[in-house]
Amino acid sequence: MIRALILTHRWLSIPLGPLFVLWFATGIVMHFVPFPAQTETERFAGLALIDHAAPLRSATDALSASGIDRPDRIRLWQRVDGPVYVVTAAARSVALHADALAAADVAAPDLALSIARITAQRRGLDASGAAVIALDAYDQWTVPNRFDVHRPLYRIALHDPDGTELYVSSRTGEVVLDTSHFARAWNYVGSVVHWIYPTVLRRDWAAWNVTVWWLSLAAVIAAVAGALLGPVRLRRRGARLSSRYYGWHLWHHWAGLVCTQFVLTWIVSGWLSMDHGRLFATGHLTATEEAVLIGAPDWTALTAAPLPVASGDAREIEWFAFGGHLYQRVRRALSQQQISVLDGSSGRIVGRFLQPAEVNAATAGMRADCTRSIEVEPGDDHPFTSDVPGAPVHRVICGDTWYHVDAASGAVLEKLDPSRRAYRWLYQALHTLDFPTLLAHPMLRTMLIVGLCSLGVAFSITGLVIGWRRLRLQLR
């Protein structure tokens, strides 16, 4: 048995040794420089006031012209070439000019460049030297699946001091991502290495998923074998314990005994990051739950619903279904919005955000044991926050299952059943130290992450040296 553990630990650790070193080292980088993503604050800052001077068709007309039967949302926003409707479904997004309902795809690079320039200027960036670099389906920063409905994307360099690059969707004309030279450089030695995320592999999600899952599982087996060997290879000398090893083996043995708990939990939780429904629930709604929470409202009601032209200061108007009703969301600033529920030709103002009554009414038909919604408070064991500052997130508890609803947009952020709640602790908490107490003390959390990952790097280097010497001996 011991011999089998030794051989397993040795011959898995030799090829995986460099990966262990890189995982711990890049974990430190990722804590300070996350993978590039556009925040809601950045997105909204680039929006202009909607021009109501031109006659605009109704959102229902836009839905009919889009060819989408059951949309998730319909949005109206001001593009550089006029107001545009964007109709979105699960895996599709269609943009239409709001006046003639003609397709509003961005086919000309000059239009993409104009959109990027105007957006950059609204965000306070220098766009005087902006130029289109490429039109790509994938590059290193747009491989995540959320960009699928926007591909291909125009990559536009501003040539400003920060090396900013904007990505414009060829489907909707929206700026969906921005990166800087600083973020790109650090992510090449951070997230790209840590997630094994080269474009050539990650563009095929299934291939990347299987590859990283098996590599992570092999790392788990190697770590578990080493953890089992650690105590076994100790021996007693009088009143104290000593190691059977010398030199680098001795350092590796004692370091392993000291940091076994962290290494094991970190490697196992890292493997669980690739679970994707294999062992734990995904947190997605079932078709039945979607039918209740979203419902099947009469979208033709939007034909008679007037646009809020009186104010003239709307930057985005959105229509969405929730609990079988249609809602209109008028956004004037990041945190300034108004939600109305539409009923035929009239509308009733709900307020800035969805109220508990709306959330409770929508979830009443979910299950018989659903309780009244409660607001997720800061410091909650399962923290959820809205993209809109100050907007509450409502938690509806139905037996052993929780549903979290963003009061700003009506979006269901996640479904937490017992499996998903366990996953939150086994993956998020253990891998990123995402414990409520540590989240309340970010400096302490940073010190622990950097210190533990540095210990993991040092420990892995001892194994790397041992593995290199063994491999060199075998080659001889």
| pLDDT on residue 150 | 96
Long-range CB contacts (within 8 A, 24+) of 119-127: 119/46, 119/166, 119/175, 120/46, 120/158, 120/164, 120/166, 122/45, 122/46, 122/47, 122/48, 123/42, 123/45, 123/46, 125/158, 125/160, 125/164, 126/158, 126/160, 126/161, 127/158, 127/160
pLDDT by residue for the chain (476 residues), tens digit each?
A: 888 988 898 889 999 999 999 999 999 999 999 999 999 999 999 999 998 877 889 898 999 999 998 898 999 999 999 999 999 988 889 999 999 999 999 999 999 999 999 999 999 999 999 999 999 999 999 999 999 999 999 999 999 999 999 999 999 999 999 999 999 999 999 999 999 999 999 999 999 999 999 999 999 999 999 999 888 887 777 667 788 888 898 899 888 889 999 999 999 999 999 999 999 999 999 988 888 888 878 787 776 555 655 446 899 999 999 988 899 999 999 999 999 988 765 678 888 999 998 898 888 878 888 888 899 998 899 989 999 999 999 999 999 999 999 999 999 999 999 999 999 999 999 999 999 999 999 999 999 999 999 999 999 999 999 989 888 887 77
Q: Distance between CA 429 and CA 431 in Å, rounded? A: 6
Q: Is 198 left (phi over 0), alpha (psi -120 to 50) or beta?
A: beta
Residue 219's H or E segment, with its range, is: helix 205-232
Residue 449's H or E segment, with its range, is: helix 442-475
Q: Distance between CA 314 and CA 332 in Å, rounded? A: 5
| pLDDT on residue 310 | 47
C-beta atoms surrounding 139 within 10 Å = 18
- Strands lying side by side in the sheet with 153-157: 131-136, 153-157, 165-169, 175-179
| pLDDT on residue 474 | 78
Q: Distance between CA 81 and CA 184 in Å, rounded? A: 31
Q: Distance between CA 290 and CA 150 in Å, rounded? A: 24
Residue 416's H or E segment, with its range, is: strand 412-416
CA torsion angle 409 413 416 422 (round to 10): -150
The CA-atom distances, in angstroms, between 170 and each of 147, 175, 243, 462 are 11, 10, 63, 50
Q: How far is CA 224 from the centre of its chain?
A: 30
